[in-house]
Amino acid sequence: MTSHKPIIVAIDGYSSCGKSTIAKSLAKYAGYTYVDTGAMYRATALYTIRKGWLHEGSIDEQALKEHIHEINIRFQPRPNGQGQDTYLNGENVEQAIRTLEVANGASRVSTLGFVRQEMVRQQQQMGEKKGIVMDGRDIGTVVFPHAELKLFLTASAEVRAQRRYLELQAKGENCNFNDVLSNVMERDYRDTHRAESPLRKAEDAIEIDNSQLTPEAQDELVKQLFLKKVQ
Residues lying near ligand DC in the complex (CB under 6 A) are found at 15, 37-38, 41-42, 103, 106-107, 110, 136-138, 187, 191
**Shortest approach of ligand DC to residue 115 CB, angstroms?**
9
Give every CB contact of residue 120 below 8 A, 6+ residues apart in sequence. Answer: 138, 142, 143
**Shortest approach of ligand DC to residue 203 CB, angstroms?**
18
Distance in angstroms (rounded) separating the CA atoms of residues 30 and 2: 9
**Shortest approach of ligand DC to residue 210 CB, angstroms?**
15
User: With respect to ligand DC, which residue has the nearer C-beta, 94 or 191?
Assistant: 191
Q: Measured in Å, how far apart are the chain's first and last C-alpha atoms?
A: 11
**Shortest approach of ligand DC to residue 23 CB, angstroms?**
10
User: With respect to ligand DC, which residue has the nearer C-beta, 126 or 230?
Assistant: 126
Which bin fits 18, alpha (ψ -120 to 50), beta or left (φ > 0)? left
Coil, strand, or helix at residue 98? Answer: helix
User: With respect to ligand DC, which residue has the nearer C-beta, 118 or 138?
Assistant: 138
The H or E element that residue 88 is part of is strand 84-88
User: With respect to ligand DC, which residue has the nearer C-beta, 30 or 43?
Assistant: 43
Do residues 160 and 14 touch, judged by C-beta distance below 8 A? yes
